[in-house]
Structure formats: C-alpha cells, structure tokens
Structure 1
Amino acid sequence: MIPAPRWVSWSIALASAAVIAFQLVVMQLLAVSQWHHFAYMVISTALLGFGAAGTALVLLREPLQRHYATALPLLYGASAVTMAATAWLSGVFGDFDTFLLFFDPGQVGLLLFLYLVYALPFFFAGLAITLVFYREVARIGSLYFANMVGSGAGAVLVLGLLWALPPERLPALLALALLLAAWITRPRSVPKAATVAMASAALLVPVIGLVNPPGPQPSEYKPIHAALLLPGAEIVHSASSPHGLLQVVRADAQRYAPSLSLQFRGQPPVRDVMFNNGEYYGTLLGRAGTGEVHLLDHTTRGLPYAVRDPESVLVLDAGAGEDVAHALGHGAATITAVEPHRQANRLLRDRYPEWIDSIYRDPTVSLLGTTVRSYLAGEREQDYDLIVLPPLGAFGGTSGVYALREQYGLTLDAFAAMWDALSDQGIIAVTVWQDEPPRKPLRLLATWRTLLEREGIGHAPAHVAAVRSWGTTTYLLSRTALSDAERGHIREFARDLAFDPLLLEDVQPGERDRFNRLPDRSFLEHVDTLLHGDPAALLDDYLFAIGTTTDDRPFFGQFMRLSSIPELQAIYGARELPYLELGLVLAAVTLLQIVAAAVILIVLPLFRVGWQGSRRRWTLLYFSATGIGFMFFEIVLIQKLVLYLGQPVYATAAVLATLLVCSGAGSLWSSHIAATRRNVLLTGVAIAGLILLYAHWLMPVLDLSMSWPPGARAAVVVLLLAPPAFLMGMMFPFGLRRLADSDATHIPWACGIDSCLSVSATALATLIALGAGFAFVMQGAAAAYVVVALASLRLGRPA
C-alpha cells in the first residue's frame, strides 16, 4: 500500500530538515577535531551524496519504482542509521589528522573515506526524496515546497540544538527525525511484528548515539592535547554552543610564561587554561597581587603602558581577560572588553567569576558580547587611548593551519575602524609571536603603512614602534607622532627587560639585536623597507604574499605564492613544504579528491544509460554553469557573512536557509511561466546583474546595519538574499522543461552535470577567493549565469 500523500510530504520535510542540520553539525565536529570549520568541504560532501543519489535513481528507477512503498521507508531508515553511526564509521580505519597528511600517506585515503562516510546519510536521504519526486511527479509543487521549507527549518533549528546539546549527540538526535519519516511512510501491508522488529533494530543505533556517543577526538597537534598530557591534568569544565566546544583544563604543572623576559626571576604562575574547539582561548590569569607588577609587564605586551598612561582602554577579542586584567593593573579609568563568545562571557562573569578574580564584574570594565567589527561599526560613547588586539600566532608557529580562516579583525578595513576609534593620543597595540620565515609581522606592517598613507600621513616611522623579545614582538601604531620622551621610555622599557627596540624613528643598528640575536638580519631590512622605503618591490618579490589584507580577502594567515613553490621546495624540501601553509594545501587536496569522487560517483555511471540526441554541448554548458554559478555565490556569501553574523555556523545556517527556501519558491513559481528562450534569457541576465551588484555593494549595504542586534541582522540577510535566490531557483527547472520537450535523454545527464559541477565548485570557490578575493568569485558566478543565459538560446527545442 502506498503511503498517504500528506505523510509523504511530512516525511520529505523531516528528512530535509535532518540532513541540512546534519551539515552544520558536521562543521562543528570538524572544527573540534581539526583546525577549521571546513564549510566548503561539508557542503560539497552533502552535494556529492545527493548527486550520487540522482545518478543511482537513473540506473535503478524501475526496481525502485516497482517497490516504491517498501523502498521509501527503508531509504529513510538507512539514512538514519548511517547518520547516527557516522562517528563510529569514520574511525573504522583510524582517525584522520590534517597535520599528518604529508607524513603518513594513508591519511589521503582516510580523507577520501571520510568524505564517503559523511556522504552516506545524504545519499540515502537524497535517493528517498528524488524517488518521491520521480514517483509522484503530479504533486511536485507541494513536495518540492515541503523539501525547501524543511531544509530551511533544519538550518535554523540546529542553532538552538547546538546551544542545548554537545555536537556529538546531535547526529543521533537528527537520525530520529529520519526514523520518524520512515515510520509514517511504512507499508501497512507488512506484518506489525516485522515492522516493530525492524524499527527497534534501526532505533538501537541512534539510542546508543544519544546515551554514549563517541566524542570528536582533537588532533594530537592541537594545544589541548598537549595540555592533557601534563601530570594530573583534568577537564574541569566542558560545554558546547554554536561558538564551539569550550573546555577548561587544570593541572599542577600548567604554568603561564608567555615569552617572559629572561630578566624575570619569579616563578611562572600555575593557572587553568581555557580552550575552544581544542585551540587556545586564554589563560585564567586574573589580577596581579597587591603591590605586585602584573605578569604581562614582564613581556613585550607591557610596551604601550611604558609609553603612555591610557585612561580608556578597548580590548578586542578579550577572551579570558588577560589584557583586561593588565589594563586594570595600570589603573585605566574605563575598560571596554569586546568578546563575541557569549558562553565564555557568562562562564567567567556569572558562573565562575573567581577564576579570573572577578575582573569582568569590576565596575571599571564593560563586557560586551558582540563581534569586533559590529562594535566598531556602532556608536561609541568615547574614543580610546589604547586599543589592544589578542596576540597573533603561537609559540613554535602554526604550520599554516589558519590559511583558510576568515580574520576580519585584521584587515585594512578593521584597522581603519580602530583608527577612527582612537583618541588624539591613542595607540593600537598588537603582539605577534615570531614566525620563521617572517610573514605575520611583515603583513601587519604593510597593512599599517597602507592605512597611514590613506590617512594622509607620509612619514610612517614617526607613528610606529616595536620591541622584540626572544619570542614575541609588540607593535604600536600611534595616532600622533611619538615624541622624543616617549621614544626614550621605549628604550628604557626594552633595556630593563633585555628586549630589543625593533622599530623607532631614530633606532640605531646596534640596538636592534643586542639581547636577542636574529638568525637572519634580512628581517630588519624588510621592516625598514615597509616603513621607510618603497614597499612595492618587496611585496612583489618576497617569497610569500605579505600584502595588505582587506575584507574582500580576509585571510590574514594565507601567505603562499604559487610562483614561489619551486624555490621554497628547494629550500625546505618536498615533505616540509606543505607545513608552511597546511590549510591551503589541504584545500587543494580536497578539491582534487572531491572532483574525482564526483566524476566517479555521479558522471561515469551515466554512461550506462547513454547520451543521445543533438546539442549536447549546450546541455553541458547550461547545467555546468548553473552548478558553478549557484555554488560560487553560496560559498562566497557564507564567507562574507562570517563578518556580518560573527560565526561560521551562523553564516552557513543563514545562507543555506535563505537560498534553499527562496530558490525553492522560485522553482515552484517557474511552473507558472513558459520556459521560452526569452524568459530564460532574461532571468539569466537578471541573476548575473544582481550578482554583480552584490559583488560591489553587498558589504557597503550590510555595513549600515553592522551594529544592529543579531535578529535584525538575520532579517536583513533574508531580505537581501531572497531576490537572487528566487530567480536562481527558476533556472534549473526551466532547463529541464526545455529538454523534456525535445531531448529527454539529456535529463539524467543534465542532473548529473549540475551535481558534479556543484560539488566541485565549493572547494574551487574557496581556492579562488584565497588568491583573487571574494569579488572575483562573485564575478565568476555572474559570468556563469551569463553562460547559462546564452546557452539557453540553443538548449532543447526552439520555443
């Protein structure tokens, strides 16, 4: 017996919500176990599963249609079981670790296996949904509506679930929605005892996943792994949210010594350390003792307080409050701490204030749970004498694992906003861990040089100072020129702590590496060129890309030049080269494997059904361009909206929900419009025009509401993205309808081509954005829709 139509619609909504929510959960799990949220990889994996399902339906449509009543609930059940069992399946052959990718050849196979494991739930759910579409095509309008609404609801619902439950429990919880879809579509002709037995067996895996889920294992090269190896180390607090997995580690041997001066004679204090997704978030340092000098005054981070006595201090990305306590120790009258991790804020201000000596409850301190850019874009009650950013990098380097991370707090646009927030005597302070070869400090100085030129300041050295220790360098950017007395204070600070003045307007060669010798003095020449000379030649010829980062290319940690790879390989060797920028290399490897998997699982099987008819190249062009254009637009929006919404998970949820629901509405509306050449051409051109408009004006428009509350910003996103999404949703059904009238044999190929290119375009968009910027990728999306419009003129039968 075929299930009732209403239950089929509900089953599609449930399955769609579950698989979209599962995408966001996988992003969180990968952020905990690896170094990045990998939104592009997760989305491409989901598309791979759905694309392979479409191809499977083409090959198996007759038996699946014949056994439709039985196949549908079984497919839902298979999706539920594989979703709930993802954590166990992904570790069958060992855990994948990004850092071992080029030391252990088996990691490449594990990465591919990971794609396939994550793709399984999408494959089974996608096969169930497309089977319903194929079997009940007469109701395609209402069914597609249920699919899109369910998808949008899942993207929003998972945000609440991430606040309520740890991410490792959510695959099992979401699997219950798929089992419910299986139950309401079960064939009534099957004996009740058999149905109950099968349901109980299927339910066992999600129940185990809810009760005793295997948690994500952080890479052994993540900071939390090393902390937990200390004698007696224990996790004294653990909680998850959309911001990540927040953990506090306590150990008697866990001492805080952040590049302390070699003149320091005390004992580094034992302190608890907070980690977010296994990465260092902050040390629970607290205040200095009565009459004591704050510990950070024995590091280069004490430099701004040696130069001036700031009354008002702004601490950006305040974390666990080390810099807030430092400012309190120097008697600042007002301190504003901006920290977007609201869960951490509540923990340290409300639940365990004693962990940091109640500094977030001090009447001098205002703790704001917003993003850096949202705060800087809003109205401020005062300007600041000192703006402090969190330290960049880490002791020993980061192996380029942050190359793919959007860092909107370090772009030229961000520093311009900070500059506007300074008082007349204001200073921006940034501390950088030394890296080898030098990259981060050079990019920082290049950005500051560009900022000063924009502000009409021609003599940069008068406004910049830096002091270097054996591990860190603190850089100061002053709104007014540093005076002779202030330069004297800097020299005194450096001399007392055995530091070296790196940058001063009148610095002498003998001062710069007196206490802390540099292995390569060319670094001194480079910083001088960036401030004193013409930096153009250095920026062009340096082995790494160290130019200014902007909101269009906010990847502060991405330095690799493709043209420099042969020379770098000769210097460092083929095995070590990837670890100069592991994030970029992983993106390239991901692209290659995703393309290969898409061709094998989606395109090659279609050769069994053949491809007859004329005008195949126009079918290829039309559906390739729709896949590329849509995904280029989607991936760029996710990366851009990280700035606007503050978190990758929020950005991904907002983009997926809006694009899926609105493109679904457009697809439904397209059934009321004739798929003539003129209509398809005009729609394609309109989409291309909107994308070009968004490429140049989206962020300026969003900037107007950057300081609004999160709910209002989410509403703005929906309003702005709805028009292009609605039109994009019309193009795919338009193309299929034109093929159906003349070249029906092209339809399976059209679906397969669109899926294959969509899968590939996710990783490709990220790589292009790294090198050329978001605007260029958006222009590529617009060009793709122009190709769609032109190809439509020759697609199918003339109409």
Structure 2
Amino acid sequence: MVALGTFFIAFSLLFFEVFSTIVMSFVLGSGYIYFVIGISLLGLSAAASLVSVVSFRMDDRKRALTLFWGCVLLAALLVGNLVLFALLKDQINAGVELAARSDGLGGIVKKILTGQLWIALWLGLAMSVPYFVFGAIVTIIFKTLPASSFHKIYFADLFGAAFGCVGAIAALEWGGYALTALLPSVFAMLAGAAYLAKNVSRRTVGLAAASAVVPLVFLAPGLISAIEPVPQLNSLARDYDMKRKVTELWHGWNSYARVGALKSVSPSGEVDHIMALGNGEGHADLRPYQPQGYGDWKQRLAILGQALGAPETALVLFAGTGSDMLALDYYTQHKTKITGVELNHTMIRGALELKEFGLDKFYAQPNIRMVVSEAREFLEQDKNKYKSILLSWSGATIAYYSGSIGHTTQFVYTKEAFESMIDHLTPDGFIVVWNTNKVNSLATFRAIMEERGMKGIQNSSLVLYGTDPSTSDWKRYWDENPLIFKPSGFTAAEINRIKEVAKTIDLSVAYAPGEAVPPAFEPYKRVMTAPDLERSLADLSRESGLRFSVVDDDRPFSLDLFSTSRYLSLDFWQQTIDRGNLKMYEKYRAQQTLFVTGLLVAALVLILGPLAVKGGPPVSRLSAQHLVFFSAVGSGFMLVEIGLVHKLGLLLGNPAFAIAIVLAGLILSAGVGSLISDALFRWGNTFSYVVGFIFVYVILFVQLADPLVNHALAWPLVWRAVLALLVIAPLGLAMGQLFPQGLVRASEAGESFPPWAWAINGALGTIAAGLAPLVAQAVGFRVLLLTGAVIYLSILLLPAYRRAEGRSPVSASSPVCSASS
C-alpha cells in the first residue's frame, strides 16, 4: 500500500501546484508565479537534504505512522495556504486602493513593482512548508525501502503527479473554485490512510480514510469566502482614481483565469459594463444587444473594419463578449456576415447568463457566428474567406513579454499566424491589428510578402496614431497605433478614404504609401522601404537599445523588446541597484535574473551541504559523478518538458488543456518508463543507450515539430491530443528510466545517497525552470530543447554511468537500509 499512498500524495501535490499557479496568477500576477513556486520547490529539496544526513531506522509500523501523520500535517498546511491566498489578496487590494487614491495609475504601478516581489517571496516561504513535508515523506520512503522497489515507487509518484495535473484542470473547468481548492487536502488524507493499511487495524484505516472529508467543511457557504481571493473592483474596472462605484454582477473560474462581470457607475451616473479576466489582463466591453441601434457610439476598431465600405464578411479575433461585433453589425446595418472567435468560454457563459444584456439573441442572428476556440486553431480549421479580419484588444500580462509560456494569445501575432490570416482574405481583403509593437508587425508582414514573392510591399501597409503620446510611441512594446495591412495594396482613393474615417475617431496617419511621414514615425517607413529588412531592424535595435525582429512561433514574444545584450551592460545592473529609470519589463527581467541566481546559491547549499555533514555522502570522485548525473537528469528533464509544452501547446489550443495533456503525458510515460526500467536494464539496456536515444529523439523533434504541428492544427482536438501523446510517449519512456536506475546505482554507495539524489534532482529542476524563460526569450524554444538534449548527453562523460550496466555487485534487491529494526 506504500505505492498507493505515494500515488495519492503525488496526486495531491501536483494538483495543488497546478491549481495554485492559477490562483497566484490572480493574487500576484502571472509574472510572479515562478518566484513563489521556485522557493516552494526548494522546500522539497531541503527536506531531501536533511533526510540524507539523518541516520534512522524504522520498522513497517513506525514508518506507516510517521507517513500518516506527515500526510495529516500536509493536508492542514494545504488548507492553510488557501486561507493565506485570500488574506494576501485582501492585503494587496488595500495597498492598491491606497496607492491609487494618492497617485492614480502611477501609484498602482509603483506599488506593484515595489511590493509584489516581497509578497511573492513571503508566499513562497509559506508554500515551501508543505513542499518540505512532501519531500520528507517521499525521501523517508526511499531511504527505508529496498532498492528493488525504487522503480515501482517512482512510477506511483509520477503516475499520481500525472493524474493530479489533469485533475486540477478538470476540476476547475467543471467543479468550481471551492471544491477544487480542497481536493488536494482530501487526497493527502487518503494517502495517510493508504500508508496505514496492513500496519494497523482495518477500523483505524477506515477512520483515517473517513477523515479525508474533514477539509470539505470549507464548502459551507459561510466559510468559502475564507479560501477564495477576491479582486479590487475599481482597479479591475480600470478606475484608477477610485471615483466610480463598481460592483461585480457575476464571476466564475476556469482552468486559466478568474472571469468577472462588472458594473461601473461614474459620479455623474454614466454606466459601463465590463467583463474582466484575472486582475484585468483581459478586458471586454459588455454591451447589451439593442436592435434599434446605439446612437453616436464610436467603436474605433469596428469603424476601421468598414473604412473601405461595408465588408460582405468579417472575422473578429479576441472577440470577447462581442462588443466589436455589435458595433460592426450596427455600422453596416446588419449587412455583414460576422464571425467572432473567443478562447475564454467562461466569459461567453457569463455573458449569456446575464439575460438583461440579450446577447443570446444577438448570437442567434443569421449573420452572426460566435465561436469558442483558440484563434490559430480556428484559422486552420476554417475554410471561409473574409474581406476584413480584425484583431481586437487581446489583453496582456508581464508574462507575454518576459519569456513566459503557456499563453496562446502570443501565437496570433507571429509570422505563421499572419500567413494564415492572409490566406483567409478575399483578393481585396485587409487585416486590422490594434495592439503589439507595430515595428515588429510591419517587419513580419513584409517578411511574408518577400518570402512569397508578392509585389507592392511598400503599398501594403498603413499605420495610424492617436493623440496620446504615451500610447503611440513606436518604441512601446504595446502601442495602440492601428495597423491596416492590405496585401493587394492601397490605392490613393482608399488612403484618402481611410484618412477621412480616421479623423472621425481622432486618429492621424503615421505611415501610408506615398504620404509624408511625421518624424516621430520615421522607423515605420524605414522598415517598409529599406532595401534590406534585417539590416533595417538591426539598425533600429542598435539605435534604440531595444530588440526588433520578425516574430515567429519559435520565439512568439511579440511584446518582448528587451535586448539580450542588456544582460552584459554594467549600466543596466547599476540602474537596477540604484533603482534607476528602467522600464517595467526591464525591472522584471532584472528581478527574475537575480532571483534565479539567488535560487542557484540556495540550491548549491542544499546540494553541497550534506557533503560537509557527518553521516552525509562522502566527498569523493564517485559522489561528484552522482552529483553531475542527477543534476543533468533534473535540469535536462525540466528544459525538455518546458520546450515540449511550448511546441505542442500550439497544437492543442486551449493553454490549460495543453499544459495538462503535455505534462500529464510526459509524466505518465516517464512513470511507465520507471516501472519497466528494472526489467529493461536486466535485459541489457544501459544508461548510454537511453541517453543516446533521448538526444537523437529531441534533435528529430526539433526538426519536425513545426511542420507537424502546422499540418495537424486542422484536426479535431481528440486526434491532436492523441498525436501529442504519441509524440511524447517514447521520450517520456526513455527519460523516466534514468532517475530510478540512477538511484539504484547511487544506493550502492550508501543509504544517504538516494535522499541526496532527490535533493539534487529537485533543486536543479527548479533552477532550470527559472532559466528556461530567459533562454527562450533570448534564443527561442528550439535552442531550449537542444540545450536540454546536450545536458542529457553529458551523462556519457561519467565513468560510473558509462560502464556495463547489468546488475551491480550490490544487488538492487538488497535494502538500502534495514526496513525493520
């Protein structure tokens, strides 16, 4: 029953980790999730390091009781963390409100930059406690069981983790917040009961199992509020002066965000309705359906969408609840067939539940089609042509330009996405892009036209700008200068017509074919007219100290203008130390780099500390080889895992589903690899064979992944999921064999080595997870995957793992230490 208990407790912790990342994205902001998780995971490594230097012996009963009480403590700590999430969010809300009342939006930004990091660090320390308990439980098991059972226990650990990952996503989608939040504690208690089995009476085991329902007491209506964080409503409604009366009409959670419907009333009585995602990372106007009309409503994107006349067909991406669609339908007098695409099904569900807005009637109109889908997935499956394609306000978090992954919005601004949109245009069709940096967007459109041998590049694009210089600066990662791209080229009459329409919504021309370009927007002209596009982008990058490029699926960070050379700039680090005039994303990048460095130092202490303690692993050449081996396995696995999530995430569409399927598939196949590793190594398999296979497989995957994903995007989701699992399985089977067989090899050197190996593996995996976004931001995900493969290949340099495997002189069936006193 030890294996069953390990399954339950691994299920509990991975479930909690996935769930908590979603909640922390709401509490702190997605950019600070790694700061919390990184510290938390070090708690696991700290427990393993401690167990590695402590000498103890346990009989079966004593071990069962120790593990049971450990599970009870873990369940209590998990509930305690839920309460902490809610309390911290209340504290953050109060700070935001105070900062906004004194200094508006500037005060909020300053508060976030100075306060969120410290809150993240404290929350990480709090979360490290349950991770420490989990690490102690697992390493006690590995220290007190025979080496012959390592592959089975590791299989149970990975098997539980895989199901925990999927379970968290499924529970949030269909079970609601409160039940999802409490399930990890329930399964921790079930793990305790499983550990007791066969060592105490059946009645005791039954009582222990029944106690698993205790955490569910928080489902009582009066207690749910103690574990569910709530937003600061004025900030969520972007009322940064705190002068409006904001109430929440409805809210719900799904597997990647909290969604709320807000009513915002100004002091003069003007009413706005908003559908807000998370802490405001996504915003959609919530407009009622009024067949009789909307008076003098000026919706800029919709106005530009019919600037060249009412289009017969139009496609709106990032449609939200349909505000752009309502406006376009109104302006074209219901003559345009409009298709809207929105990823967040909870947002649509919430809008439909608010019957007073009548959106169910609007969606049912014969010329209206609202589709819940990821935009790239829709583009590959849809066969229709459109006169206009409108990219509405997409929303953004710091994660979009920090190198973070797991979001699919960024894939809509890549070269591959723009190519698909061009293929969906009618011969005289056009695309309107509202957000992102327009230097990058112009460069990407030009690169496509050059590759396809299309003529009239200089006549294909037109950029407008507004009166607010803070949102129209061409150097902003997130400018609001509408870009209109027409592959067939603009005529002089069309340019004049757009200029007239633009005046009605307070927009002017920044760049247009044959028009004088204002000096402030000269870079747009350089990108479109320079003889050499790459040289032009390089010159702009050098002159501005930013990074401009053609954005593609391998490095899809369309908002990322951070120049990698800044890492080597003394001025950058001096400004960081002096709190100089750095941009927000530069400050975040500095924080992340310094944080990963700090984690590396802490990891070295946890890894090297046991070598200096009596009873720990000895300082020897063999210990050094074990250190390198488990470092390579931990970091290599993490880098490959993150690369797979990115590459196959686009294939699967929904970001939460993508993470669940890819992670679960990789962890599950690794678990199967662990289970069969003992037999395979007895039959002649070797570390060299496994490492060689991993290296070659990753190389092939890097070469074939992009064309494979682009080909399969049009398939139904079920078949895409099957394809992803089939691609993942061979790699997972191979990677899963290394850790348990490495534990067997390490156990030959003494009982302190398996817990120490856990510490090394966990610590280096944590460091790799922090470095991965920085690497991907700098050089892309192909290089990230190849780096992971090379790290695995380094194992071939270790004599202890290169010699003929077979069965070592110390039988793997021998106990690492006595299982009985």
Q: Per the shorter chain, which TM-score range?
A: 0.7 to 0.9
Cα–Cα, structure 1 residues 308 and 16, in superposed 2: closer, same or farther, change >3 Å? Answer: same
Partner residue of 1:59? 53
Cα–Cα, structure 1 residues 758 and 85, in superposed 2: closer, same or farther, change >3 Å? Answer: same
Query: Residue 237 of structure 1: SS of its match in structure 2?
Result: strand
User: Which one is further off, 771-780 or 470-479?
Assistant: 470-479
Matches within 5 A, 1:759-774: 759-774=766-781
Partner residue of 2:263? 250
Supply the AA of the counterpart residue of 1:462. Answer: N
Query: Residue 307 of structure 1: SS of its match in structure 2?
Result: coil
TM-score (norm 1): 0.85
How far apart are 1:738 and its partner, in Å? 3.3
How far apart are 1:42 and its partner, in Å? 6.7
Distance 1:447 1:246 in 2: 32
Cα–Cα, structure 1 residues 104 and 526, in superposed 2: closer, same or farther, change >3 Å? Answer: closer
Matches within 5 A, 1:217-616: 217-218=230-231, 223-224=236-237, 226=239, 229-253=242-266, 270-279=271-280, 280-286=282-288, 290=292, 295-297=297-299, 299=300, 302-329=303-330, 330=332, 331-349=334-352, 352=355, 354-356=357-359, 358-380=361-383, 382-391=384-393, 404=404, 406=407, 407-432=410-435, 440-471=437-468, 472-509=480-517, 512=518, 521=519, 523-533=520-530, 534=532, 535-541=536-542, 542-564=544-566, 574-608=579-613, 609-616=616-623
Q: Percent identity between the aligned chains?
A: 22
Distance 1:198 1:12 in 2: 16
Distance 1:640 1:757 in 2: 23
CA contact (8 A) 1:706 1:713 kept: yes
User: Which one is further off, 156-165 or 58-67?
Assistant: 58-67
In the alignment, is residue 214 of structure 1 matched against residue 233 of structure 2?
no
Partner residue of 2:142? 133
Query: Residue 367 of structure 1: SS of its match in structure 2?
Result: strand
Greater relative contact order, per chain length (Cα 8 Å cut-off, separation 6+): 2
Query: Residue 547 of structure 2: SS of its match in structure 1?
Result: coil
How far apart are 1:241 and its partner, in Å? 1.4
CA contact (8 A) 2:289 2:358 kept: no
Supply the AA of the counterpart residue of 1:724. Answer: L
Supply the AA of the counterpart residue of 1:456. Answer: G
Cα–Cα, structure 1 residues 76 and 496, in superposed 2: closer, same or farther, change >3 Å? Answer: closer
How far apart are 1:414 and its partner, in Å? 0.6
Query: Residue 295 of structure 1: SS of its match in structure 2?
Result: coil
How far apart are 1:232 and its partner, in Å? 3.2
Partner residue of 2:123? 114
Residue-by-residue CA offset, 1:669-700 (whole Å, 9 max, x unaligned): 11113379972112111100101111221232
Partner residue of 1:260? none
Distance 1:335 1:575 in 2: 48
Partner residue of 2:166? 156
CA contact (8 A) 1:47 1:758 kept: no
How far apart are 1:497 and its partner, in Å? 4.5
User: Which one is further off, 317-326 or 109-118?
Assistant: 109-118
Residue-by-residue CA offset, 1:322-356 (whole Å, 9 max, x unaligned): 22112212144311111121222233346637254
Partner residue of 2:735? 728
CA contact (8 A) 1:50 1:127 kept: yes
User: Which one is further off, 315-324 or 644-653?
Assistant: 644-653
Distance 2:58 2:274 in 1: 55
Cα–Cα, structure 1 residues 325 and 730, in superposed 2: closer, same or farther, change >3 Å? Answer: same
Supply the AA of the counterpart residue of 2:72. Answer: G
Query: Residue 135 of structure 2: SS of its match in structure 1?
Result: helix
Cα–Cα, structure 1 residues 328 and 357, in superposed 2: closer, same or farther, change >3 Å? Answer: farther
Cα–Cα, structure 1 residues 33 and 576, in superposed 2: closer, same or farther, change >3 Å? Answer: farther
Residue-by-residue CA offset, 1:544-599 (whole Å, 9 max, x unaligned): 11212110011122211143466678999734415144553443244234324433
In the alignment, is residue 17 of structure 1 matched against residue 6 of structure 2?
no
Distance 2:765 2:203 in 1: 43
Cα–Cα, structure 1 residues 48 and 651, in superposed 2: closer, same or farther, change >3 Å? Answer: farther
Partner residue of 2:472? none
Supply the AA of the counterpart residue of 1:531. Answer: M
Taking only aligned residues, the RMSD between alpha carbons, in angstroms, comes to 3.7
Supply the AA of the counterpart residue of 1:440. Answer: N
CA contact (8 A) 2:37 2:124 kept: no
Please point out which of 629, 636, 647 is paired with 1:640: 647
Residue-by-residue CA offset, 1:624-683 (whole Å, 9 max, x unaligned): 211121110111222333322233322222222112211111112111133799721121
Distance 2:604 2:777 in 1: 25
Distance 2:694 2:667 in 1: 16
Distance 2:393 2:487 in 1: 21
Partner residue of 2:674? 667
In the alignment, is residue 170 of structure 1 matched against residue 198 of structure 2?
no
In the alignment, is residue 784 of structure 1 matched against residue 791 of structure 2?
yes
Please point out which of 760, 764, 767 is paired with 1:757: 764
CA contact (8 A) 2:189 2:211 kept: no
CA contact (8 A) 2:303 2:328 kept: no
Distance 2:622 2:708 in 1: 42
CA contact (8 A) 1:539 1:546 kept: yes
Distance 1:495 1:372 in 2: 31
Residue-by-residue CA offset, 1:218-258 (whole Å, 9 max, x unaligned): 57995347479454321110111114211001122299xxx
Distance 2:36 2:715 in 1: 30
Cα–Cα, structure 1 residues 311 and 64, in superposed 2: closer, same or farther, change >3 Å? Answer: farther
CA contact (8 A) 2:64 2:199 kept: no
In the alignment, is residue 693 of structure 1 matched against residue 700 of structure 2?
yes
Supply the AA of the counterpart residue of 2:285. Answer: T
Cα–Cα, structure 1 residues 103 and 388, in superposed 2: closer, same or farther, change >3 Å? Answer: closer
Cα–Cα, structure 1 residues 189 and 483, in superposed 2: closer, same or farther, change >3 Å? Answer: closer
Partner residue of 2:28? 34
> What residue ranges of structure 1 are gaps of 5+ in the alignment?
1-5, 256-266, 433-438, 513-520
Residue-by-residue CA offset, 1:164-222 (whole Å, 9 max, x unaligned): 34445533232011112223444899999999999999976663476333323557995
Distance 1:422 1:557 in 2: 25
TM-score (norm 2): 0.83
Cα–Cα, structure 1 residues 201 and 674, in superposed 2: closer, same or farther, change >3 Å? Answer: closer
Distance 1:343 1:93 in 2: 25
Query: Residue 366 of structure 1: SS of its match in structure 2?
Result: strand
Distance 2:174 2:18 in 1: 15
How far apart are 1:743 and its partner, in Å? 7.3
Cα–Cα, structure 1 residues 719 and 238, in superposed 2: closer, same or farther, change >3 Å? Answer: same
Query: Residue 17 of structure 1: SS of its match in structure 2?
Result: helix
Partner residue of 2:475? none
Query: Residue 457 of structure 1: SS of its match in structure 2?
Result: coil
Cα–Cα, structure 1 residues 401 and 273, in superposed 2: closer, same or farther, change >3 Å? Answer: farther
Count of residue pairs the alignment pairs up? 760
Cα–Cα, structure 1 residues 302 and 192, in superposed 2: closer, same or farther, change >3 Å? Answer: same
Distance 1:320 1:798 in 2: 60
Residue-by-residue CA offset, 1:693-723 (whole Å, 9 max, x unaligned): 1122123222222133333322222111010
Query: Residue 674 of structure 1: SS of its match in structure 2?
Result: helix
Query: Residue 272 of structure 1: SS of its match in structure 2?
Result: strand
CA contact (8 A) 2:599 2:767 kept: yes
